[in-house]
């Protein structure tokens, strides 16, 4: 439960960080758009900025257009270096101010066009009522005219309750929500923005990990900490949940289980006392008969009389006698149907495609559609249609060209999902295109290459090369990951050796189309002509190779 809850807290922390970054990005985008807007620059004119002569209604209309109907920020303020301010938002007005009272103004000059984020501050500037006040955060940056001269400063203001809305709403919707703290890069507490006497977790964080168990010196409780630092804002998000809260359901369950266990033991002792004498003798007789059963006596009925007052035990004995005869017949049939079983299991492999591929592909289609990339949506849907048609077709062998066309579409869908982080290349000798192979033979290898290849830093690469040699042809599938570990290589080889020694096909799971399954299908298809290898390249990346020996004409004649 601690492991699962830690994972959930990590996800929650990432969600807090991501959603808060989105709000800050909106503030930043409004500020950037104001700084680069040609209509704004045309209205303000060239030369030294003098806001006292600027038309407030015209400036307000431009600000409303940039801010959008959703009001990305609550207030937009433009300052010149003469002490004039144009305000648009909750208050739309022209103001004057003493520049010496604006401590951040010099920072905007020093940092140029870069954004500067304030710490939370309480102000009545966004309230239309004299007694009202709100906690806010401002984003500052320098304003430049058409000639690249710094002639003023921009401020976009957002209320804290909107910036941290996702954290506030989560805490209100959960009975025992984890506590969340947000610190800036200097370790200043940003959330909770109302003064708090909470423990300062920022100084206890280990930058090399994302979570830790922590003994709180104030409460002396063990707490689970999950934290993440935003690369965009530099803010660190810390989510804290006491371990006792996590284990509370376990403690209640243990108490219930103790009571159930005591009750079950008491009932078992009473029932066993009354039934043991009547059950022991017939069970011992049946046990002796079972122990004496072997392949040579399967079809011979028992000569020992079996008497019991329990109808269930009599039926069990009769069922056992019938089973002996049926088992003998089944053993004979099993030998004859082993090959058919292998072929039937091969058919089942065709339906074992990872459903997450479709979920992720559909999510990519949604993302493309939301960004009006209609041509890519059409291409993505065509690819998914061709993939589904290929998967649901019959299990008859296909040509390598058909399989590579399917793999190309599959990798295209993965490319859409991972964008520039994933690159792939397919280079197969055209003379190999008509080679027959089982349908979906290459799919599991490519899927594993992506699954384990992306454990390294992006960009990731998948390469498929097919080539004809003197006595065989070979297809190499390589990834740019960290390769097979020694333990993984030994495990796969052991499973292949076990499968080679024992006839039949091991049980398949929904997501079990792995290296062993490919080996068994290819072995069944090629017999002794099969080529199948796996390992690491000299550079340490994973590679799986499969191919088939090319029979010479004289060998074919001799076999005939």
Q: Which helix or strand (DSSP H or E) is residue 134 part of?
A: strand 134-144
pLDDT of residue 360: 65
Top-confidence range, 86-90, 323-327, 523-527: 86-90
pLDDT at 508 over 50: no
State residue 551's pLDDT score.
Answer: 77
Q: Span 331-339, mean pLDDT?
A: 57
- State pTM to two decimals: 0.48
Q: What pLDDT shows up at residue 301?
A: 63
**How high is the pLDDT of residue 330?**
73
The Cα–Cα gap between 437 and 443 comes to 12
H helices within 292-399, ranges in order?
311-349, 355-370, 374-391
pLDDT at 204 over 50: yes
pLDDT of residue 425: 94
Share of the chain above pLDDT 90, in %: 36
For strands 75-80 and 84-89, give the pairing: antiparallel
- Residue % of the chain over a pLDDT of 70: 86
Is there a contact between 75 and 88 (Cβ–Cβ < 8 Å)? yes
d(CA 128, CA 90): 8
Question: For residue 461, what pLDDT is reported?
Answer: 92
Domains and CATH numbers, the chain: 2-160 (3.30.450.20), 165-241 (3.30.450.20), 355-559 (3.30.565.10)
pLDDT of 448 reads 87
Other beta carbons within 10 angstroms of residue 460's beta carbon come to 20
Locate 81 and state its tokens: 């270096």
The H-assigned helical ranges of 392-514 are 400-418, 443-453, 486-501
Q: What is the pLDDT of residue 528?
A: 85
Instruction: Return the pLDDT at 513.
Output: 46
Q: What is the mean pLDDT of residues 52-65?
A: 91
Whether the pLDDT of residue 354 is over 60: the answer is no
Structure tokens at 74: 């609550």
pLDDT recorded at residue 441: 86
Angle (CA) 304-307-310 rounded to 5° is 140
Helix axes 400-418, 443-453, angle to 10 degrees: 30
* pLDDT band at residue 451 under the 50/70/90 scheme: confident
Query: What is the pLDDT, as a whole number, of residue 515?
Result: 81
Q: What is the pLDDT of residues 412-424, one digit of tens each?
A: 888 888 888 889 9
Q: According to DSSP H, which parts of 128-187 are helical?
A: 160-163, 165-173
């Amino acid at each position: 439960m601690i492991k699962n809850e830690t994972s959930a807290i990590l996800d929650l922390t990432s969600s807090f960080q991501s959603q808060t970054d989105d709000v800050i990005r909106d503030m930043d985008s409004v500020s950037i758009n104001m700084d680069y807007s040609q209509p704004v620059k045309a209205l303000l004119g060239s030369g030294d900025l003098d806001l006292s002569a600027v038309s407030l209604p015209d400036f307000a209309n431009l600000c409303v257009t940039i801010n959008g109907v959703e009001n990305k920020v609550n207030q937009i303020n433009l300052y010149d270096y003469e002490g004039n301010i144009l305000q648009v938002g909750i208050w739309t007005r022209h103001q004057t101010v003493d520049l010496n009272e604006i401590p951040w103004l010099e920072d905007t000059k020093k940092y140029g066009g870069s954004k500067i984020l304030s710490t939370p501050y309480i102000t009545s500037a966004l309230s239309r009522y004299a007694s009202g006040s709100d906690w806010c955060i401002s984003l500052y940056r320098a304003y430049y005219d058409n000639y690249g001269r710094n002639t003023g400063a921009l401020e976009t203001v957002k209320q804290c309750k909107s910036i941290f809305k996702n954290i506030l709403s989560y805490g209100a919707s959960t009975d025992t929500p984890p506590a969340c703290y947000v610190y800036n890069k200097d370790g200043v507490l940003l959330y909770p923005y109302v003064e708090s006497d909470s423990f300062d977790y920022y100084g206890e964080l280990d930058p090399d990990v994302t979570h830790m168990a922590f003994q709180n010196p104030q409460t002396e409780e063990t707490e689970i900490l999950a934290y993440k630092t935003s690369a965009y804002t530099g803010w660190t998000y810390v989510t804290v949940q006491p371990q006792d809260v996590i284990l509370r359901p376990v403690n209640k369950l243990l108490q219930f289980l103790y009571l159930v266990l005591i009750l079950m033991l008491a009932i078992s002792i009473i029932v066993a006392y009354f039934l043991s004498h009547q059950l022991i003798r017939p069970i011992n007789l049946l046990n002796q008969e079972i122990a004496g059963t072997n392949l040579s006596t399967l079809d011979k009925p028992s000569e020992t009389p079996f008497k019991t007052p329990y109808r269930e035990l009599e039926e069990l004995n009769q069922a056992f006698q019938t089973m002996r005869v049926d088992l003998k017949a089944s053993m004979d049939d099993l030998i004859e149907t082993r090959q058919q079983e292998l072929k039937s299991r091969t058919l089942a492999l065709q339906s074992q495609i990872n459903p997450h591929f479709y979920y992720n592909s559909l999510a990519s289609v949604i993302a493309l559609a939301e960004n009006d990339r209609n041509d890519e949506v059409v291409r993505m849907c065509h690819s998914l249609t061709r993939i589904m048609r290929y998967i649901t077709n019959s299990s008859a062998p296909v040509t390598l060209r058909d399989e590579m066309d399917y793999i190309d579409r599959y990798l295209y869908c993965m490319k859409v999902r991972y964008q520039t982080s994933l690159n792939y290349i397919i280079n197969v000798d055209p003379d190999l295109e008509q080679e027959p192979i089982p349908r979906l033979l290459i799919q599991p290898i490519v899927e594993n290459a992506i699954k384990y290849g992306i454990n390294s830093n992006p960009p990731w690469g998948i390469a498929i090369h097919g080539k004809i040699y003197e006595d065989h042809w070979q297809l190499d599938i390589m990834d740019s990951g960290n390769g097979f570990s020694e333990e993984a290589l030994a495990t796969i080889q052991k499973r292949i050796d076990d499968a080679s020694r024992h006839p039949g096909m091991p049980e398949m799971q929904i997501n079990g189309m792995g290296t062993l399954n490919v080996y068994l299908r290819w072995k069944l298809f090629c017999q002794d002509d099969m080529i199948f290898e796996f390992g690491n390249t000299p550079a340490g990346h994973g590679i799986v190779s499969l191919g088939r020996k090319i029979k010479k004409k004289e060998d074919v004649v001799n076999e005939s």
